[in-house]
Each structure stands twice: as structure tokens, then as C-alpha cells.
């Protein structure tokens, strides 16, 4: 009887030590896991903060790019409204009265949006639609501008499209705001768009290029396409844009 009690006592004691040992080991392992997790979290926060501070301290390097002189903008890009209209009427859609009609024209019009080649400005008196040929021309201008800029080490900028297709009610509203706006605009046919020459969208923080040099580079791109009979172009002084119609 006494031997049985002693045996039970010894077995219980061994079991108790076993439980304490593994409980202790388990607690230590949990503690170590928590310490490692906390350490990694602190390290991540620290490195993120360093990265953000580095970006904030980064000052863009001012770059001067090579430009090819060609003369005065106004005399180089002087295609009058009648040639814009002739091409627009030949290649474009019939003028629409309201913006809603643009969505009903199917493949006759392409909706354009921000992309790798250009940005669409906030359009107050037009909608972002072009006929396919004009859309392709805009893509070419944006792509050639970026390629030319990068080949001259000028960093990354995109052109900004400021006006596209205008419905008749858009023109009416614009003329109430600006009496000099033409009621017989090539913008009515989906063949014509405006590109700003006084502002550009920078797409990285490494380099900065003067707007005047970017304007000249854009003009070089447009002049090359104009010489290839790809488009008509008028330099608009008051609007601060190149007025472009596909041909």
C-alpha cells in the first residue's frame, strides 16, 4: 500500500516537473517571438521614416537641354483657321449639339484619358473625345516629346492637353465667357486639340527643366510632324497653347 502511494507520488512529481519545463519553454519561445516581431516593426517604421525624410530632402537637379533654333513661334506655326476647318470637316464627325451625343457615336470617336504620354487638363468647355486619327496623332506627339527629352538627359515630363472636342452648347457657353471665341471652331469635329506650352507635368523628382526649354522642345516635335504633313498647327498666344488639327 505504502509502495503504491510512493509510486503515485513520484509519478505525479515527475509529471509536474514535465509540465513546468515545457510550459516554461513555451513561454520563453512566445516571448522571443514577440521580441522579434516588435523589433521588426520598429525597424520597418524607422526605415520608412528615413526613406520619407530622404525624399523630402531630395532637391531636383536643374538640367539645361540642347535646343535647335527655328525662328519665331508665331511665324513658324501660323496655319489659319480655314485650313484647320477644311481638314476637320473632311476627316471629322458632324458637329454634335450636346456632350451626351458623343457617347452614341461608337467607334467614330475615341475617349482619351491620362496615360504615359500626356495628361488631360480639367476640361471646362470640351470633352475628351477625338476621332481615331487625331488620337493617334496625339499619342505620337506625346511619345516623341518624351523620347526627345530623355535622349537629351532632361528627365521625365508629359504634355498637358487643354481642349478637345466641343459640342455646340460648349461653344455657346464659351462665347458667353469669351466673345472672341470662334463659333466656327475646328474643335467641333473631333479632329482638333490644344496642348499647353507654358506648363508641363513632371513625372519624377530627379531633374527640373525650364518651361521655356520644354516649350521649345515640344515645338521641335510639332514642327517635325508638320513638315511630314501630319497636322496643321497654330500658335495661340492668349490661350498659351498650340492649336493642332490632324490632316
Query: How much is the pTM?
Result: 0.74
pLDDT, tens only, 221-237:
999 999 999 999 999 99
- Mean pLDDT over 60-76 rounds to 91
Cell numbers placing 49:
521614416
- Largest distance between two CA atoms of the chain: 122
Structure confidence at residue 40 (pLDDT) = 75
The proportion of the chain whose per-residue pLDDT surpasses 90, expressed as a percent, equals 58
Check: CB of residue 233 under 8 Å from CB of residue 77: yes
Structure confidence at residue 63 (pLDDT) = 87
Structure confidence at residue 152 (pLDDT) = 92
Check: CB of residue 45 under 8 Å from CB of residue 199: no
209 vs 40, residue with greater confidence? 209
Check: CB of residue 115 under 8 Å from CB of residue 136: no
The proportion of the chain whose per-residue pLDDT surpasses 70, expressed as a percent, equals 76
Residue 38, pLDDT > 80, answer no
- Mean pLDDT over 142-169 rounds to 93
121 vs 9, residue with greater confidence? 121
Q: What is the spatial distance between Cα 18 and Cα 15, in angstroms, rounded to a whole number?
A: 5
What mean pLDDT is reported for the chain? 84
Distances (CA, A) of 32 to 22, 23, 40, 124: 15, 14, 12, 61
Cell numbers placing 245:
488639327
Structure confidence at residue 230 (pLDDT) = 98
Structure confidence at residue 179 (pLDDT) = 54
207 vs 133, residue with greater confidence? 133
Structure confidence at residue 6 (pLDDT) = 46
> Which range is least confidently modeled, 19-33, 67-81, 190-204, 232-246?
19-33
Structure confidence at residue 42 (pLDDT) = 75
Structure confidence at residue 16 (pLDDT) = 54
- Mean pLDDT over 109-123 rounds to 96
Q: What is the spatial distance between Cα 181 and Cα 174, in angstroms, rounded to a whole number?
A: 7
Residue 243, pLDDT > 70, answer yes
Q: What is the spatial distance between Cα 90 and Cα 92, in angstroms, rounded to a whole number?
A: 6
Amino acid at each position: 500500500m505504502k509502495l503504491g502511494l510512493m509510486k503515485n507520488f513520484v509519478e505525479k512529481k515527475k509529471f509536474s516537473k514535465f509540465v513546468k519545463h515545457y510550459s516554461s519553454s513555451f513561454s520563453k519561445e512566445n516571448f522571443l517571438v514577440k521580441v522579434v516581431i516588435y523589433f521588426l516593426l520598429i525597424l520597418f517604421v524607422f526605415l520608412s521614416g528615413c526613406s520619407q525624410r530622404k525624399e523630402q530632402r531630395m532637391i531636383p537637379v536643374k538640367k539645361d537641354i540642347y535646343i535647335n533654333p527655328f525662328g519665331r513661334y508665331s511665324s513658324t506655326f501660323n496655319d489659319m483657321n480655314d485650313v484647320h476647318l477644311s481638314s476637320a470637316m473632311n476627316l471629322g464627325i458632324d458637329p454634335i449639339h450636346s456632350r451626351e451625343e458623343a457617347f452614341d457615336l461608337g467607334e467614330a470617336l475615341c475617349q482619351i484619358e491620362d496615360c504615359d504620354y500626356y495628361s488631360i487638363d480639367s476640361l471646362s468647355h470640351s470633352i475628351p473625345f477625338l476621332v481615331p486619327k487625331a488620337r493617334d496623332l496625339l499619342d505620337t506627339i506625346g511619345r516623341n516629346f518624351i523620347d526627345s527629352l530623355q535622349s537629351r538627359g532632361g528627365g521625365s515630363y508629359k504634355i498637358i492637353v487643354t481642349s478637345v472636342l466641343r459640342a455646340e452648347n460648349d461653344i455657346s457657353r464659351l462665347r458667353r465667357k469669351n466673345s472672341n471665341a470662334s463659333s466656327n471652331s475646328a474643335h467641333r469635329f473631333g479632329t482638333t486639340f490644344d496642348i499647353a506650352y507654358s506648363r508641363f507635368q513632371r513625372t519624377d523628382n530627379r531633374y527640373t527643366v525650364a518651361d521655356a526649354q520644354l516649350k521649345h522642345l515640344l515645338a521641335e516635335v510639332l514642327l517635325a510632324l508638320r513638315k511630314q504633313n501630319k497636322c496643321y498647327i497654330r500658335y495661340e498666344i492668349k490661350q498659351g497653347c498650340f492649336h493642332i488639327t490632324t490632316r
